[in-house]
Amino acid sequence: MSQKIDWAKYVQQTEEKLSNISVNEKESEDATDTYSPAEASLFAKIIRKGLVDNKHDIDIQRNDPNSPLYSVKTFEALNLKPNLLKGVYEMGFNTPSKIQEAALPILLADPPQNLIAQSQSGTGKTAAFVLAMLSKVDTSKKYPQVLCLSPTYELAIQTGEAAAYMAKFCPEIEMKFGVRGEELPRGTQLTDHIIIGTPGKVLDWAFRYRVFDLSKISVFVLDEADVMIDQQGHQDQCIRIHKHLSPTCQMMFFSATYTERVMSFAEHIVKNPIIIRLKREEESLDNIAQYYVRCSSSEEKYAAVTNIYGTVGVGQAIIFCQTRKTASWLAGKLHQDGHAVAVLTGELAVEQRINVLDRFREGKEKVLITTNVLSRGIDVEQVTIVVNFDLPVDRDGEADCETYLHRIGRTGRFGKKGIAINLIDSDNAMRICETIEKHFGKTIKYLNTKDCDEIEKIGQ
């Protein structure tokens, strides 16, 4: 078990010496294809075609057992300003989603309550905290009262656009982007009610240029909190900003995921939080049949892929590779054999990834070859089979069970049956497969891909 971190001491040490944001060097094709969590989150937000209809329960933890929590089934029940309610409906929200049902009564409560919320991408987190931000503004006060931080320029813009859309009938609410490119003359004093930005720019405005007073902020929102807390430079900046906020400032932390370490840190700096966890659909493996195939080489792996896809009546398939080099090689082989394939890896820009995925959604390619860049948060209803050409491993070469869960969760979506095939080419790969099987307590069955009758059975 890892040693428990003394977060109070850690924060103090960090405040004394702030670190710079590190920038990863460009990796070779042979390296494991990595992705920025913030970039992946942006990608998931952009391509969402609507809210995920999550049917799982909400786990609510609260420190004060005497504080009654309730959920709302309609936005009218929140007693919002009429023009703000009009904006909510304009955005296409007719009834609150699960996370909104649970979070909004907490966020809008008087006296204010602190919240740490976890819910997968697409469940309505952004709309929840944006609505709370807009509701908390006192337009008679001409200074910033709400501060919302995102890890990147693009994510801040996404949040700002959502806020502007929701507030389209509330022109009295003024907002300001605190991102790169937004320069203010010295001596400026902001009169906007809401600042939506990135930590670096907000730090400059608060301490170097002093264009607003952090102590007057009454609502502090941390979007993509796991990225903000886990990335060293952002964490340092958030600690410094947090230190200058009023003790009565309401804290709202939202994220799709929280590691144990990140949650521990969040609970240290957010006092007496109510914690909401909305269980993710992909955490259920009951409707996904899992198999493994023994192979002796990459060529045998390729033969297994073609046998499976040629025999099973599948809709569309996603094949996961560990490196860009393997993904490129596999795509070339499949293309030569007449398969319509698409490739999506980490070196593509967000716009290029969206184009590739849109083509896949539309069925223009039946097979999508990708790396971990697509393992999280992406739903394509027609996907019925996922192939792990390489099993996911962490930096130490051990089984990455979380990534495995996200990968095979790309099939079996929306309550449908799914198939996951794992290609095993070594004793070590078999050991990793057995570790994954033990971790989830779900049997991964042996599949002989040279037996067409056996392959046909898995598709029935």
Q: What is the pLDDT of residues 353-405, one digit of tens each?
A: 778 877 887 888 888 898 876 555 455 556 788 899 999 988 788 998 877 87
| pLDDT confidence tier of residue 156, bands split at 50, 70 and 90 | confident
Q: Is the pLDDT of residue 327 over 70?
A: yes
What pLDDT is stored for residue 52 in this prediction?
A: 43
- Is the domain of 61 the same as that of 208? yes
Tokens for 241, please give them.
């900003």
- Is the domain of 33 the same as that of 51? yes
pTM for the complete prediction? 0.63
What pLDDT is stored for residue 190 in this prediction?
A: 96
- Is the domain of 267 the same as that of 289? no
- The secondary structure of residue 219, as a DSSP letter, is E
Number of domains forming the structure of the chain: 2
The reply to whether 13 falls in a domain is yes
Of 229, 258, 279, the last residue of a domain is: 279
221: enclosing H helix or E strand:
strand 219-222
| pLDDT confidence tier of residue 295, bands split at 50, 70 and 90 | very high
The reply to whether 2 falls in a domain is no
| pLDDT confidence tier of residue 25, bands split at 50, 70 and 90 | very low
What pLDDT is stored for residue 398 in this prediction?
A: 92
| CATH number for 439 | 3.40.50.300
Whether the CA torsion 149, 151, 156, 159 is positive or negative: it is negative
Q: Report pLDDT digits (tens) over 328-345.
A: 999 999 889 888 888 987
- Is the domain of 168 the same as that of 291? no
- Is the domain of 258 the same as that of 343? no
- Is the domain of 166 the same as that of 210? yes
Written in H, E and C, the secondary structure of 123-191 is: CCHHHHHHHHHHHCCCCCCCCCCEEEECCCHHHHHHHHHHHHHHCCCCCCCCEEEECCCCCCCCCCCCC
Residues 354, 186: Cα–Cα separation, whole Å: 40
Of 233, 259, 279, the last residue of a domain is: 279
Of 279, 296, 329, the last residue of a domain is: 279
- Is the domain of 239 the same as that of 371? no
| pLDDT confidence tier of residue 449, bands split at 50, 70 and 90 | confident
- Is the domain of 87 the same as that of 234? yes
The reply to whether 428 falls in a domain is yes
| pLDDT confidence tier of residue 1, bands split at 50, 70 and 90 | very low
Contact status, residue 125 vs residue 99, Cβ threshold 8 Å: yes
Q: Report pLDDT digits (tens) over 37-54.
A: 666 666 555 555 444 444
Name the residue range of residue 317's domain: 282-458
- Is the domain of 292 the same as that of 272? no
What pLDDT is stored for residue 7 in this prediction?
A: 43
State the helix-helix crossing angle for 153-166 and 125-135, rounded to 10 degrees: 60
- Is the domain of 271 the same as that of 289? no
What pLDDT is stored for residue 301 in this prediction?
A: 94
- Do β-strands 58-61 and 274-278 pair in parallel, antiparallel, or remain unpaired? antiparallel
What pLDDT is stored for residue 375 in this prediction?
A: 53
